[in-house]
């Protein structure tokens, strides 16, 4: 199975270890991975700032980059960025050269946890992490991608990991891309509420599938001088792996439930 890695700007610049972990996990499960160097940004920051027309050349570049390799799937480590690719057919629908290409990109693009569970059918990746953790559910991944299951299934099968439900899990962390820059005081209040909810769980590890959220929440913990280890799901699934424990779903109907 050939997989193009949609690396995303945040992972490239802030969390390269997440990209490395994702590639190692995918290759462990038989994927041949490729990362086209032509990709830069999917265009989300400027698009969300209202510069829609100006962003379209960035979108076209991303389409060209991700289709430069003949692959079966495109996989990314950030729900918000993956959703941007899913929106490309709408944004480029009037472009005679790129409308069909944008649809092709959207059709074979998956967020990492979605791909692991819903495409590869993995239940237990064989990982082990002796820790108490809680999970932050990002807004874009749940409300726009509609993914509320895959991360929890994969985390439930990590040996030694005790997951504590996060109070008010439906609440935004306050990052929201440009929102945190346009409304810093509101964003600060929102992330403070998120930090307090995390602290209330007594977890020592915060896990998420969106690096932007991890950057925002982890940054607030640092500024408050409070210890909190942040981990992307890919890093968790790449920890102390025992391939003898790998387990798959029994049927495709199970992953579609």
Average pLDDT, the chain: 94
- pLDDT value, residue 150: 96
User: Given a cut of 70, is residue 85 above it in pLDDT?
Assistant: yes
User: Given a cut of 90, is residue 253 above it in pLDDT?
Assistant: no
User: Given a cut of 90, is residue 166 above it in pLDDT?
Assistant: yes
User: Given a cut of 90, is residue 179 above it in pLDDT?
Assistant: no
User: Given a cut of 90, is residue 222 above it in pLDDT?
Assistant: yes
Its pTM surpasses 0.85: yes
- pLDDT value, residue 44: 87
- pLDDT value, residue 47: 87
Encode pLDDT of 31-80 as tens digits: 999 999 999 888 888 888 888 899 999 999 999 999 999 999 999 999 99
Instruction: For residues 217 and 211, give the distance between their C-alpha atoms in angstroms, rounded to a whole number.
Output: 10
User: What does the buried/exposed string (b/e) look like for 79-116 if buried means 16 or more CB atoms within 10 Å of the residue's CB?
Assistant: bbbbbbbbbbbebbeebeebbebbbbbbebbbbbbbbb
Interval 209-238 mean pLDDT: 95
**Domain 123-236 is of which CATH architecture?**
3-Layer(aba) Sandwich (3.40)
Structure tokens at 75: 């996989």
Structure tokens at 155: 């985390």
With the CA atoms of 56, 141, 139 and 174 taken in that order, what torsion angle do they form, in degrees rounded to the nearest 10?
-70
- pLDDT value, residue 256: 67
Task: Answer with the residue of higher pLDDT: 2 or 9.
Answer: 2
User: Given a cut of 70, is residue 257 above it in pLDDT?
Assistant: no
Task: Answer with the residue of higher pLDDT: 109 or 181.
Answer: 109
Interval 245-249 mean pLDDT: 96
User: Given a cut of 90, is residue 249 above it in pLDDT?
Assistant: yes
Encode pLDDT of 100-157 as tens digits: 999 999 999 999 999 999 999 999 999 999 999 999 999 988 888 989 999 999 999 9
- pLDDT value, residue 43: 87
- pLDDT value, residue 113: 97
- pLDDT value, residue 50: 86
The packing angle between helices 99-107 and 79-86, to 10°, is 140
Q: With bands split at pLDDT 50, 70 and 90, how would you rate the model's confidence at 2?
A: very high
Alpha carbon of 145 to those of 79, 85, 95: distances in Å?
A: 7, 11, 24
Nearest to 77 by CA among 193, 233, 204: 233
Domain boundaries, the chain: 2-117, 123-236
The packing angle between helices 52-66 and 99-107, to 10°, is 60
- pLDDT value, residue 154: 98
Instruction: For residues 170 and 137, give the distance between their C-alpha atoms in angstroms, rounded to a whole number.
Output: 7
């Amino acid at each position: 199975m050939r997989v193009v890695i949609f690396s995303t700007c945040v992972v490239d610049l802030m969390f390269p270890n997440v990209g490395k972990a994702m590639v190692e996990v995918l290759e462990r499960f038989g994927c041949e991975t490729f990362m086209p160097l032509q990709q830069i940004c999917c265009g989300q920051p400027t698009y969300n700032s209202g510069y829609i027309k100006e962003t379209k050349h960035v979108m076209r570049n991303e389409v060209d980059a991700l289709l430069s390799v003949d692959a079966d799937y495109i996989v990314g480590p950030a729900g918000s960025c993956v959703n941007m690719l899913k929106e490309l057919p709408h944004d480029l629908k009037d472009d005679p050269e790129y409308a069909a290409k944008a649809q092709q990109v959207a059709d074979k693009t998956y967020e990492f946890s979605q791909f692991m569970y819903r495409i590869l059918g993995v239940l237990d990746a064989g990982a082990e992490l002796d820790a108490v953790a809680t999970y932050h559910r990002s807004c874009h991944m749940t409300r726009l991608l509609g993914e509320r299951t895959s991360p929890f299934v994969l985390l439930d099968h990590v040996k030694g990991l005790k997951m504590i439900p996060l109070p008010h899990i439906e609440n935004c962390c306050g990052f929201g891309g440009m929102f945190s820059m346009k409304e810093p005081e509101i964003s600060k209040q929102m992330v403070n509420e998120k930090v307090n909810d995390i602290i209330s769980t007594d977890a020592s590890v915060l896990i998420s599938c969106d690096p932007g959220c991890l950057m925002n929440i982890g940054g607030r913990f640092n500024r408050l001088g409070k210890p909190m280890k942040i981990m992307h799901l890919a890093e968790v699934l790449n920890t102390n792996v025992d391939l003898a424990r790998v387990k798959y779903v029994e049927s495709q109907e199970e992953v579609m439930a």
